[in-house]
């Protein structure tokens, strides 16, 4: 998600000579199917030194159509290097459709000068790049931006004070709030943090260092994740100390000075630049993308939303045909004046359960009714009948020394996405409440949440809650989930409302709705030590008994049956 913090000395740069795109980019492009035919041959000027405001060279590759005439420009600013997969995904694919493309390495990465300081320099460096662009003889004054993940963040940074040339943005699985990625729900998103840091630190160094780093993380992830204390334990898994990572991991409070100036959500509140958003139901940035969409709509900004059945990484793999088609149509409409490819609706979402796309005027399609489902007293059933009291229903013991493992969901891990939860649900530290077989389909479109009343014997715990679809054969597949910290006093239950993400899903007749509850999902989230001590510094861990009370409820945005 971010890049490696280090100093890169300013180096002499030869005068770039236009030529063909790198062979690796051309070979990867040739393997992709389901994409539109190329309109132009593509040329490339590699290694252009674009000066930042302080003179630091930001190394940039320029891809262009080999054809006469004016073409709009697409700016892609990345901390992940300028090679595969970014060179074919953005340089080649868009240049062959009639765009100049600038693929630029953020400062301190990919040969660019200076020191990378996570999230701090993107606004100024983006504006400096646009100032340089104005001086180029091939620039026709029309600019768009595109890219996923941190490349989405660089777009929101530029949008804080958008230059007049900026006419369109395409933010794909992008974030505007780094704190939310690290600490949403009150728990450190440990596995995602380490995976994203590995990509950011090593991908821009080339394929061999990146592959070695990924393999090292796979070997040492468990060791780093169970270390006590967690502070600094990532070094053996990542291979080096990273100052910005230390800072981000050790500041769980969103109001801490460390995070000041890094949250760019306000850019969407006043933006007039047409902005297309894309994400997946199992993308780590789903919530942030939906927040961006809501803020843009409230601001009256032209926007469109695409949500597929993807994880963060699969969106540009099996989701590439849909992602590229949407992005290309948006850029042609707002940079070239050709609106023929735009869909007429504001949102396009993939509906699970029926495995079909649906076009909607808005997301969610209407203010949904939150239909409550309750745990039945004395059992493991899920019912629509409200309880008559708040008596305890069932309790379980969570032991941080043998934490409940994470499986599937909105994660960067290898098991991300929809998974069979049957083995996980067989554990003694996982509760399940299951409804009866449905006599008619039930469809949910919108945000899912849980209203929990729990008590604990230590006063400190996490609660992880998940919605699953159970088929007639007993296979339980996760749809969405969430985690929250709870603090209780004595035997008195504490109430907490937990967002579980949004979804579009249709439970077929004969399937059952299941509510899964546990005390964590490790290593996706750092363990709650049960003592009240900060997770990053805790050495002592104590087991906790968590009791779920009858007036808890799973809240589903049901839109009807049949």
In this predicted structure, what is the pLDDT of residue 176?
A: 98
Distance (Å, whole) CA 149 – CA 89 = 14
Q: Which residues contact 249 (CB under 8 A, 6 or more apart)?
A: 182, 188, 193, 230, 231, 234, 536
CB atoms within 10 A of CB 494: 16
Among residues 238, 154, 230, 232, the alpha carbon closest in space to that of 196 is found at 238
Per-residue pLDDT of the chain in tens (562 residues, 90 and over written 9)? 433 333 333 333 344 558 999 999 999 999 999 999 999 999 999 999 999 999 999 999 999 999 999 999 999 999 999 999 999 999 999 999 999 999 999 999 999 999 988 889 999 999 999 999 999 999 999 999 999 999 999 999 999 999 999 999 999 999 999 999 999 989 999 999 999 999 989 999 999 999 999 999 999 999 999 999 999 999 999 999 988 899 999 999 999 999 999 999 999 999 999 999 999 999 999 999 999 999 999 999 999 999 999 999 999 999 999 999 999 999 999 999 999 999 999 999 999 999 999 999 999 987 767 899 999 876 789 999 888 887 878 999 999 999 999 999 999 999 999 999 999 999 999 999 999 999 999 999 999 999 999 999 999 999 999 999 999 999 999 999 999 999 988 778 899 999 999 999 999 999 999 999 999 999 999 999 999 999 999 999 999 999 999 999 999 998 865 5
Pairing of strands 392-398, 494-507: unpaired
Tokens of 14: 């030869």
Burial of 490 (0-12, 13-18, 19+ CB in 10 A): exposed
What count of residues does the chain have? 562
In this predicted structure, what is the pLDDT of residue 17?
A: 57
Q: For the domain with range 263-363, which CATH number is right: 3.40.50.1820, 3.30.200.20, 3.40.50.300, 3.30.470.30?
A: 3.40.50.1820
In this predicted structure, what is the pLDDT of residue 7?
A: 35
Residue 206, phi-psi category: left (phi > 0), alpha (psi -120 to 50), beta (remainder): left
369-561: CATH topology: Jelly Rolls (2.60.120)
In this predicted structure, what is the pLDDT of residue 123?
A: 96
Distance (Å, whole) CA 85 – CA 89 = 6
| Three-class HEC string of 408-453 | CECCCCCCCECCECHHHHCCCCEEEEECCCCCCCEEEEEEEEEEEE
Say whether 379 sits in a helix, a strand or coil: coil
Chain mean position to CA 19: 35
**How far does the chain reach from its first CA to its final CA, in angstroms?**
42
Distance (Å, whole) CA 140 – CA 198 = 38
1-141: CATH topology: Rossmann fold (3.40.50)
Three-point CA angle 526, 528, 532, nearest 5°: 135
Among residues 124, 112, 118, 117, the alpha carbon closest in space to that of 163 is found at 124
Tokens of 329: 């149509």
Q: What is the largest CA-CA distance in the chain?
A: 78
Burial of 185 (0-12, 13-18, 19+ CB in 10 A): middle
Say whether 186 sits in a helix, a strand or coil: helix
| pTM of the shown model | 0.94
Looking at residue 403, the DSSP 8-state letter turns out to be P
In this predicted structure, what is the pLDDT of residue 392?
A: 79
Say whether 77 sits in a helix, a strand or coil: strand
CB atoms within 10 A of CB 224: 20
Q: With contact defined as beta carbons under 8 Å apart, do 312 and 285 qualify?
A: yes
Pairing of strands 57-65, 42-51: antiparallel
Say whether 246 sits in a helix, a strand or coil: helix
Q: With contact defined as beta carbons under 8 Å apart, do 173 and 278 qualify?
A: yes
Tokens of 55: 């003179």
């Amino acid at each position: 998600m971010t890049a490696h913090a280090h100093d890169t000395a300013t180096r002499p740069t030869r005068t770039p000579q236009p030529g063909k795109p790198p062979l690796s980019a051309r070979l990867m492009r040739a393997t992709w199917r389901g994409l539109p035919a190329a309109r132009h041959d593509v040329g490339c000027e590699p290694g252009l030194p674009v000066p930042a405001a302080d003179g630091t060279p930001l190394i940039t590759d320029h891809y262009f159509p080999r054809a006469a005439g004016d073409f709009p420009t697409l700016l892609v600013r990345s901390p992940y290097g300028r090679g595969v997969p970014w060179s074919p995904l953005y340089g080649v694919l868009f240049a062959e459709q009639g765009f100049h493309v600038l693929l630029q390495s953020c400062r301190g990465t990919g040969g660019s000068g200076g020191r990378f300081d996570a999230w701090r320099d993107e606004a100024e460096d983006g504006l400096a790049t646009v100032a340089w662009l104005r001086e180029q003889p091939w620039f026709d004054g029309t600019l768009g931006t595109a890219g996923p993940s941190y490349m989405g963040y660089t777009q929101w940074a530029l949008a804080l004070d958008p230059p007049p040339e900026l006419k369109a943005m395409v933010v794909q699985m992008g974030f505007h709030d780094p704190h939310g990625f690290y600490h949403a729900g009150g728990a450190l998103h440990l596995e995602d943090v380490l995976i994203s840091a590995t990509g950011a630190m090593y991908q821009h160094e080339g394929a061999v260092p990146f592959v070695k780093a990924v393999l090292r993380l796979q070997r040492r992830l468990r060791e780093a994740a169970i270390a006590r204390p967690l502070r600094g334990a990532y070094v053996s898994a990542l291979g080096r100390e990273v100052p910005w990572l230390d800072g981000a991991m050790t500041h769980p409070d969103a109001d801490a000075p460390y995070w000041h100036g890094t949250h760019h959500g306000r850019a969407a509140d006043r933006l007039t630049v047409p902005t297309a958003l894309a994400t997946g139901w199992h993308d780590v940035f789903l919530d942030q993308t939906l927040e961006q969409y809501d803020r843009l709509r409230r601001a009256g900004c032209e926007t469109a939303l695409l949500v597929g059945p993807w994880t963060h990484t699969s969106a540009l793999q099996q989701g590439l045909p849909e992602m590229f088609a949407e992005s290309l149509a948006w850029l042609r409409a707002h940079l070239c004046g050709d609106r023929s490819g735009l869909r007429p609706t504001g949102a396009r979402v993939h509906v699970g359960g029926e495995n079909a796309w649906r076009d909607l005027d808005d997301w969610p399609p209407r203010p949904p009714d939150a239909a409550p489902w309750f745990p039945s007293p004395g059992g493991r059933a899920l019912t629509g009948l409200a309880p008559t009291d708040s008596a305890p229903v069932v309790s379980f013991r969570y032991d941080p020394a043998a934490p409940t493992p994470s499986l599937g969901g909105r994660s960067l891990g290898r098991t991300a996405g929809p998974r069979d939860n049957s083995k996980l649900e067989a554990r003694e530290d996982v509760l399940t409440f299951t409804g009866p077989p449905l006599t008619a389909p039930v469809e949910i479109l919108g945000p899912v949440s849980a209203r929990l009343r729990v008590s604990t014997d230590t006063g400190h715990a996490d609660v992880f809650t998940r919605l699953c679809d159970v088929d007639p054969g007993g296979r339980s597949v996760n749809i969405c989930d969430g985690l929250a910290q709870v603090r209780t006093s004595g035997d008195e239950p504490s109430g907490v409302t937990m967002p579980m993400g949004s979804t579009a899903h249709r439970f077929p007749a004969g399937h059952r709705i299941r509510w899964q509850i546990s005390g964590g999902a490790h290593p996706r989230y750092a363990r709650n030590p049960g003592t009240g001590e900060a997770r990053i510094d805790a050495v002592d861990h104590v087991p906790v008994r968590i009791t779920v009370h009858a007036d808890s409820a799973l809240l589903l945005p049901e839109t009807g049956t049949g």
